[in-house]
Amino acid sequence: MYDPKRGYPVVVPCVLYDDLVSAAEWLTTVLEMRQVVRAELPGGWVGHIELERAGSIILLGRRGGESAGANSVTQVFVDDVATACGRAAGAGGTVLEAPADRPWGVRQALVTDLEGQRWVLCEHLRDTDPADWYGTVFGPVPG
């Protein structure tokens, strides 16, 4: 899962919402997308939802934190997150969140470009069982 070498998209738009469940319902109805992954913590707090259509993924994420004030971020898989962060800083960007390994099997960092657009840099590390990070898979996920 989340491996671009096996078909997971290299570039994934992440649209930020306050109410992810309502947004997912709207997008599945209007754009005929299908929910493929949902990360829901005990107590019903939904951390993110992934929707798929024709091999493309849209990630629905929560507003707030380092993305406060933003409506979207773009997730891009790279070969080495730390190296990409160095290139971002060297080219005038800002590293908002240093590379860190996540329970869903990727290393991630958050950077901004020259105009403040946010980019989540990702590197696939290993496949994981979504149940380990409160994820539920509803159907086939590319990669």
DSSP state of 5: G
Q: What Å distances lie between residue 70 and 59, 92, 117, CA to CA? A: 15, 20, 8
Q: What is the pTM of this model?
A: 0.81
Identity of the amino acid at 64: G
DSSP letter at 130 equals: G
> Domain 4-130, what fold?
2,3-Dihydroxybiphenyl 1,2-Dioxygenase; domain 1 (3.10.180)
pLDDT tens for the chain, residues 1 to 143 = 788 999 999 999 999 999 999 999 999 998 899 999 999 988 888 989 999 999 999 999 988 877 777 888 999 999 999 999 999 999 999 999 999 999 999 999 999 988 788 999 999 999 988 888 888 888 788 87
Q: Which of 121, 47, 115 is nearest to 80 (CA)?
A: 121
